[in-house]
Structure 1
Amino acid sequence: MPTTTTITSLGHKGEGVAEIDGRKVFVPLALPGEVVEIEADGERGTLLRVINPAPGRIAPFCPHFGACGGCQLQHMDRASYEAFKIGLVETPLRFAGIEQRVTRFIDAAGDGRRRATLHARHEGAGYMRLRSHQVHDIDACPILVPGLARAPDIARSLMQAIGEADVSFTATLTGLDVAVRTEKKQARADRLAPLAGRFKLARLALNGEMVLQAQAPVIEMGRARVELPIGSFLQATEAAEAALADYVLGAVGKARTVADLFCGIGPFALRLAEQRPVIAFDSDKPAVAALDKAWRFAKGIREVTARPRDLFRDPLTQFELNYEAVVLDPPRAGAEAQVRELAKSKVKTIVMVACDARTFARDAAILVAGGYGVGEIVAVDQFTQSAHVEIAATFRR
């Protein structure tokens, strides 16, 4: 039965929050201060009508907004949007006992996201519908780089060849890198090969195995060029990678000995090595190998010693952390084991890049308890129109 209510706040997923009969109800696409008509089902609310819109409500720029679950925030004006994103960082810090404000908000949308994963199903190719496991078919996605304009068409063609699959795209200097994942055990790679030529793909992979490579997918990082391993991590936008790298370089300053932990394919290590030798660690062996190859062929950079190591199970101990500065960019789970060792170390400067505000706040609290002071915290907005934000922060002894 429809209910008329007032939205009091925003949840951390960007959903409007209403109080009905003493319980919180989360309503996607609603904004604080709005009087709305909703259909409530437990904690979930479906927006039926906005009776009194908030002053910050604007028209979304994508015709798929509201049905497609890829974006949650296109209906917010710029001031409200930035305040929400900054709150995503500051609120977990406050709960962790750290009263530190975000000092800069960086719009890192750039030319759009160079990476995307589309779900190819019989109903079409696109992102999952809002609060659903059904796919919303799209013809185009305006938040992607122009090089990914044909991604929906490619995903549909791949589905017709081998059945339902998830298709990850990366736009590189040498063309599109496409990795297909399917649970279909009898998926035939030979049916995919003709599509690589038809769409002029740089590389096509199926379930982690290469099907065809016309040329290696390459990304430029500072003075180096990196050949991407299949399925390797890469920042969503080129602008975000550049902004984060600039921050890291500035925070590290003139430190002569630097370790890059959770280094991946080297977005920070390769740039840091333009000024001094760097030692780098990551559990992803193909990524470490790609980084090692990149610095060896690059001109004008110092040595990068890249080593495979599982920093979750085998973190560098306080006795091994004999560096003036440490950079770490862990995955969403954070770096608790490694941070506990850093908190006991004598490292002067720690620069942390994080993609999850809650695990970042947990790790930051460990460093603060170990005697580190929190310096500048920057919010880097590369996952535009979504309830995610990248964080960069400096900690000093």
Structure 2
Amino acid sequence: MTITTTITALGHKGEGVAEIDDRKVFVPLALPGEEVDIAVEGDRGTLLALRQESAQRIKPFCPHFGACGGCQLQHMDRPSYEAFKTALVETPLHFAGIETKVSRFIDASGDGRRRATLHARREGAGYMRLRSHQVYDIDACPILVPALRRAPDITRAVMQAVGEADVSFTATLSGLDVAIRTEKKQARADRVAPLAARFGLARLSLNGEMVLQAQPPIVAMGRAQVELPIGSFLQATEAAELALAEYVTAAVGKAKTVADLFCGVGPFALRLAEQRPVFAADSDKAGIAALDKARRFAKGIREVSAKARDLFRDPLTQFELPFEAVVLDPPRAGAEAQVRELAKSKIKTVVMVACDARTFARDAATLVGSGYAMSDLVAVDQFTQSTHIEIAATFRR
């Protein structure tokens, strides 16, 4: 069914919302106030033509925008873009009973994303098409750091070597770290091994196992240098890591005893340890080992007691929290079990970094309900042109 309608709002996935026959229809690439022709199927609309454009609309900077599904917001002007992303943080908090505003919006795009996953399929190499499981073939991606300019070429070479796969890239100080994932059980390491020399890779892995390593992939974290384990978490942009680390360091202040929970490879713990001993915990055993090694070889770093522990199933109890401050940086699922223990503790300061606004709001409500006051709510925009946003906030008793 094809109809003409007006877009009345923007959904949390960046899609225009049209009210048709008392139901909402979601239309990618459309903006509030626009009169559009759309094809409707259920609650989905496909933009066919713009009859009247919004004043918010701008020309996308990438020629692939609209077909490639990697970005959703390149057609929005800057004020509208920041307002939309700010609302992504504030709205879930409102529904959780917390009325507050983002105090700062930090553009953390920096030189571009240092991490990306491209898909190798018969139709090409790139990201998934908009609303599709088919890959949109790209020649370049302007939101990536220059070091990843050959990522599409490497992905195509992977397709030729082992067939369909997902290829994850990380740009490090010592070169590219490339991790291949494939469903093909007979995928052979010797088929992809020549790619390491061909593209000058620092490390190449296949389904979690190292194929070749010319040199360890290294990233700097304060005074320390960390050798990245295969598959460990790292912030998408260096600018975001620096912005979040500066926020965490300032919020912790002069606290003498600090715990960094969900610490990963240590972007906060290693910097905090420049001033005081730090306890760090995460379920990622390889990440904990990398953090411990980085601490041992770094100069000007105090003691970091790094422990592998599943904080979802086995959170630190209120009796194991003899700290003045705790830093949390959980994955998208949030830190529900650990936050419940923090709520029962006497810890003065909790600094929370989050990548999911809904689980952040849930966990923030638990802390606020137990007597903490939330302050300095910050939105850190490292996944630019997408509907993802990083969050940081401070909670004090």
TM-score if structure 2 supplies the norm length? 1.00
The aligned amino acid for 2:215 is Q
CA offsets 1:294-325 (integer angstroms, 9 cap, x no match): 01000011011100000000000011111000
Deviation at 1:28, TM superposition (A): 0.3
Distance (Å, rounded) in 2 between the aligned partners of 1:50 and 1:228: 47
Provide the residue aligned with 2:193 in structure 1: 193
CA offsets 1:221-274 (integer angstroms, 9 cap, x no match): 000000000011000000000000000000000000000000000000000000
SS in 1 for 2:157: helix
Provide the residue aligned with 1:170 in structure 2: 170
Deviation at 1:2, TM superposition (A): 1.5
CA offsets 1:88-126 (integer angstroms, 9 cap, x no match): 000000000000100000000000000000000011000
Provide the residue aligned with 1:91 in structure 2: 91
Provide the residue aligned with 1:322 in structure 2: 322
Provide the residue aligned with 1:104 in structure 2: 104
How do 1:66-77 residues align onto structure 2 when only pairs under 5 Å count?
A: 66-77=66-77
The aligned amino acid for 2:229 is P
Provide the residue aligned with 1:338 in structure 2: 338
1:223 equivalent to 2:223? Answer: yes
Distance (Å, rounded) in 2 between the aligned partners of 1:192 and 1:121: 16
How do 1:296-315 residues align onto structure 2 when only pairs under 5 Å count?
A: 296-315=296-315
- Unaligned runs of at least 5 residues, structure 1: none
Distance (Å, rounded) in 1 between the aligned partners of 2:292 and 2:151: 31
Provide the residue aligned with 1:348 in structure 2: 348
Provide the residue aligned with 1:57 in structure 2: 57
Count matched residues.
Answer: 397
Provide the residue aligned with 1:380 in structure 2: 380
SS in 2 for 1:39: strand
CA RMSD after TM alignment: 0.4
The aligned amino acid for 1:15 is E
1:290 equivalent to 2:290? Answer: yes
Percent identical: 81
The aligned amino acid for 1:137 is D
How do 1:41-52 residues align onto structure 2 when only pairs under 5 Å count?
A: 41-52=41-52
How do 1:112-151 residues align onto structure 2 when only pairs under 5 Å count?
A: 112-151=112-151
Distance (Å, rounded) in 1 between the aligned partners of 2:190 and 2:240: 37
Distance (Å, rounded) in 2 between the aligned partners of 1:178 and 1:14: 30
The aligned amino acid for 2:177 is D
How do 1:145-164 residues align onto structure 2 when only pairs under 5 Å count?
A: 145-164=145-164
SS in 2 for 1:350: strand
The aligned amino acid for 1:3 is I
Distance (Å, rounded) in 2 between the aligned partners of 1:32 and 1:48: 16
SS in 2 for 1:286: helix
The aligned amino acid for 1:106 is I
SS in 1 for 2:320: coil
Deviation at 1:391, TM superposition (A): 0.1
Provide the residue aligned with 1:256 in structure 2: 256
Distance (Å, rounded) in 1 between the aligned partners of 2:122 and 2:55: 40
The aligned amino acid for 1:277 is P
The aligned amino acid for 1:237 is T
The aligned amino acid for 2:394 is T
Distance (Å, rounded) in 1 between the aligned partners of 2:183 and 2:58: 40
CA offsets 1:2-58 (integer angstroms, 9 cap, x no match): 211111111000000000000000000000111111001010000001111110100
TM-score if structure 1 supplies the norm length? 1.00
Provide the residue aligned with 2:13 in structure 1: 13
The aligned amino acid for 1:78 is R
The aligned amino acid for 1:199 is F
CA offsets 1:190-242 (integer angstroms, 9 cap, x no match): 01111100000000000000000000000000000000000110000000000
The aligned amino acid for 2:305 is T
Provide the residue aligned with 2:371 in structure 1: 371
Distance (Å, rounded) in 1 between the aligned partners of 2:283 and 2:50: 49
Deviation at 1:76, TM superposition (A): 0.1
Distance (Å, rounded) in 2 between the aligned partners of 1:98 and 1:380: 20
Provide the residue aligned with 1:238 in structure 2: 238
The aligned amino acid for 1:196 is A
The aligned amino acid for 1:27 is V
Distance (Å, rounded) in 2 between the aligned partners of 1:387 and 1:49: 24
Distance (Å, rounded) in 1 between the aligned partners of 2:35 and 2:335: 42
Provide the residue aligned with 2:276 in structure 1: 276
CA offsets 1:345-368 (integer angstroms, 9 cap, x no match): 000000000000000000000001
The aligned amino acid for 1:329 is D
CA offsets 1:128-178 (integer angstroms, 9 cap, x no match): 000000000000000000000000000000110011000000000000000
Provide the residue aligned with 1:184 in structure 2: 184
Provide the residue aligned with 1:22 in structure 2: 22
CA offsets 1:48-91 (integer angstroms, 9 cap, x no match): 01111110100000000000000000000000000000000000
Provide the residue aligned with 1:392 in structure 2: 392
